[in-house]
Structure 1
Amino acid sequence: MLGNKSKPAPPAADTTSLIAVGTQVRGDVRFSGRLHVDGSVEGALHGEGANAVLTLSNNAKVTGEIVAPHVVINGIVSGDVTASERLELASGARVEGNVYYKVMEMSAGAQINGKIVHRAEPPRQLAGPQETKAEAEDFALPGATVKP
């Protein structure tokens, strides 16, 4: 009909998907927005986009790699976890694998059996002109000779 326009889909950051208690997923899962896992997953979980958030409840069990910007774990993970922005480990978290993070919050009782590796942003290198002799002389000690 005229004037009856369909509404666009909400942005991915506003969507939440759920893998409920009693649900078993076998295979890799790619998601954007939010994914809340109460069931079990045998496969990799990959959050796509800067706003992707993965939450594993105390009932969740994941056997496979986890990669997302923001990861919250209160369940069991058998595999490596990579949180490019923030990793939160609640008291019920059990991780059997390596953990890679930028910022991590770990509650008392959380367990990690693997390497814990901080991945900070690489240092920025300033690209610019070489230091001039005049600039070098500004910082030279009195009586020091500055060579070009």
Structure 2
Amino acid sequence: MFSRNKQPAIKSLIAQGSRIEGDVHFADGLRIDGEVHGDVRAQGGQSGLLVISALARVEGAVHAAHVIVNGEVVGPVHATELLELQPKARITGDVHYKALEMHQGATICGSMTPTDAVLEEKPPLKLASSAQ
């Protein structure tokens, strides 16, 4: 479904021990090992890979095509393609995703909403035992 070979390269890093105050906008890929107090957004909000490691903490909205969380996010998460929640992921906020992969141990305190692309109208099912 989602080829890992087509991932954009991670070209930026917010290292452990670093703290960013303000919004972060990135192109291609970003890995966060430190703290960000502000929104984190891929350029255009519709592309990019964002990795929030087990050591990281983000307080603000997160917007990217592919989001991998193993740390803490306090704020809404918007993944236009794929959201991966690894075992140490802790999200306090609403989650919006097209596809979701959630490992045992990950927690979400908020609502989970699939995007409209997933909620296509499906034809009604007819049971084989139905007398019609």
Q: Taking structure 2 as the reference length, what is the TM-score of the superposition?
A: 0.80
**How many residues matched?**
112
Instruction: Provide the identity percentage.
Output: 40
> Which structure 2 residues correspond to residues 1-148 of structure 1 after superposition, within 5 A?
13-14=8-9, 16-48=11-43, 50-121=46-117, 123=120
Asked if 1 retains the 8 angstrom alpha-carbon contact of 2:10 and 2:49, the reply is: no
Change in CA separation of 1:123 and 1:108 when aligned onto 2, cut-off 3 Å: closer
Between 50-59 and 64-73, the greater mean CA deviation after superposition:
50-59
User: Which has the larger share of strand?
Assistant: 2
Compute the RMSD of aligned alpha carbons.
1.6
Range 80-89 or range 46-55, more displaced = 46-55
Matched residue type, 2:17? G
Structure 1: distance between partners of 2:10 and 2:105: 31
Deviations 1:96-120 (A, max 9, x none): 0000000000000000000000113
Q: Runs of at least 4 residues of structure 1 off by over 3 A?
A: none
User: In 1, Cα distance between the equivalents of 2:10 and 2:58?
Assistant: 21
Alpha-carbon offset, residue 51 of structure 1:
4.1
Q: Give structure 1 stretches of 5+ with no counterpart.
A: 1-12, 125-148
Structure with max Cα Rg:
1
Offset at residue 123 of structure 1 (A): 4.9
Unaligned runs of 5+ in 2: 1-7, 122-132
